[in-house]
Structure 1
Amino acid sequence: MISVKPVGMQGKWQERFAQSQPLMLEVGSGKGKFITEMAAAHPELNFIALELQEVAIAYVLRKQVELELPNLQLILGDGANLTEYFAPEEVTGVYLNFSDPWPKTRNEKRRLTYKSFLDQYKAIMAKDGVLQFKTDNQGLFEYSLVSMNNYGMKFDMVSLDLHNDPKIEGNIETEYEHKFSSKGSRIYQLIGRY
């Protein structure tokens, strides 16, 4: 269920699932609330949870086993290595949820919406693929909008207050999203395409 050595799996991920279906990837899955609920709600899609921390991926594995999710696979790995894990156009969608904002300028290259990461998402994403980004951090959201716009991405949706946006239906929350929104924090979301 957990792929600890995903290198060499490029183009072969569908073999790990019961059915060949569009493949959705969450980079930085944390404890897995979002990805396991997405997999349960959307059996017509296949999902991969990618997480760098062993303790966090263990939580995802426990939820996957409890919920018996045949459409979810896990990777213990680094989001900076996506082109080593996936073939070109293998992924239909990428989720970036409540990523570390890395607020200091010297750490800009670590932000998951920095151009080197956008290069990787584009390389593995299908032509009609989408990137969904959610955060409570206004500075990171503004940075990400500019970064993606400068990269040439088009936006299907931009919400400056996701939980009070009447256009949004069926939002599945992450652990951090639930925590921050319950304290009154505004949640930002965008959906973009290459």
Structure 2
Amino acid sequence: MRLRGRKGILEALESQPELVILQPEQHKGRWHELFGNGKPIYVELGMGKGKFISEMSWLYREEANFIGVDMYDELIRRGAEKARKLWNEQAGTEPQNLRLARFNIEALENVFAPDELERVYLNFSDPWPKSKHARRRLTHYNFVDKYRSVLNERGQIHFKTDSTSLFEFSLNSFSDMGLQMRNITLDLHREGPAENNVMTEYESKFVSRGMPIYRCEVLIGPAALEAHRQQLEAVRKKPVPAAEV
């Protein structure tokens, strides 16, 4: 993928260090210090033009901190522009709980320390359809191992795609690793826009064409697994309503 950015793009990114992080490895183990609070940190790996991470940062501004990750200067620029516009329209302020970090996802463990993140979002990642490129898919076990190394006890992976083949590959990958999945859907918006779902640019386009969106959540941390177990147990013990006569 090649992106042609505007002239002076690097200088533009360097001029906004409060939002754009160009040397994220310097913050490894200290991201909470950067945000100035102990709220959970949610990261989108491959944020594209930044619609999802910008809207999430605004909607959940009281609950969490957000980091959008991409390796391209032009996408970081667009994401920063989108985030500033959204926050200014909503509150007349700069983004408070959002950072946009430029780095290759291969270097994830160099940027985040063990237990530093609580959630990883993988939204419409490149499906790399040729089998010889399987190791490049962001749900390949090599990448999933990286996510597990930086997620905390409540850690989760939330995954969305329009690619049937990538979804099948991902479910198999998660299953082969013995990971607990939940909320698996083969058509997220079958009955209309899904509740509490923030769409990416790609997602909006695909849904407008009537294409199905595949989604699942993967529970990584022991606290996340225990909460899921308790939820299932509560449902199991819930009395079954008597049949109407």
Correspondence 1:55 to 2:55: no
Q: Look up the match of 1:13.
A: 31
Name the Cα RMSD after superposition. Answer: 1.4
AA in 2 matched with 1:85: V
For residues 110-137 of structure 1, what are the alpha-carbon distances to aligned partners after superposition, in whole Å with 9 as ceiling and x for unaligned?
0000011001000000121110000000
Deviation of 1:18 after TM superposition, in Å, equals 4.0
Query: Which secondary structure does the structure 2 equivalent of 1:163 belong to?
Result: coil
Query: Which secondary structure does the structure 1 equivalent of 2:122 belong to?
Result: strand
- Work out which of the residue numbers 76, 80, 83 in structure 2 matches 1:64: 83
For residues 47-93 of structure 1, what are the alpha-carbon distances to aligned partners after superposition, in whole Å with 9 as ceiling and x for unaligned?
00001111111011112222122100111111111100000010000
Deviation of 1:165 after TM superposition, in Å, equals 5.6
Q: Which has the higher contact order (CA 8 A, sep 6+)?
A: 1
**Counterparts of 1:124 and 1:18, CA distance in 2:** 20
> Scaled by the length of structure 1, what TM-score is found?
0.96
Provide structure 1 residue ranges, at least 5 long, that are not aligned to the other structure: none
Query: Which secondary structure does the structure 2 equivalent of 1:25 belong to?
Result: strand
Deviation of 1:156 after TM superposition, in Å, equals 2.1
Query: Is the contact made by 1:24 and 1:92 (CA closer than 8 Å) also made in structure 2?
Result: yes
Deviation of 1:187 after TM superposition, in Å, equals 0.3
Q: Look up the match of 2:42.
A: 24
Query: Is the contact made by 1:18 and 1:70 (CA closer than 8 Å) also made in structure 2?
Result: no
Correspondence 1:140 to 2:166: yes
Query: How many residue pairs align between the two structures?
Result: 194
Q: Look up the match of 2:150.
A: 124
**Counterparts of 1:87 and 1:3, CA distance in 2:** 16
Higher strand fraction (1 or 2):
1
Q: Look up the match of 2:208.
A: 182
Query: Which secondary structure does the structure 2 equivalent of 1:191 belong to?
Result: strand
**Counterparts of 1:128 and 1:18, CA distance in 2:** 21
AA in 2 matched with 1:126: N
- Work out which of the residue numbers 57, 62, 79 in structure 2 matches 1:39: 57
Q: Highest CA radius of gyration, 1 or 2?
A: 2
Query: Which secondary structure does the structure 1 equivalent of 2:26 belong to?
Result: coil
> Scaled by the length of structure 2, what TM-score is found?
0.76
Deviation of 1:148 after TM superposition, in Å, equals 0.8
Q: Look up the match of 1:106.
A: 132
Sequence identity percentage: 40
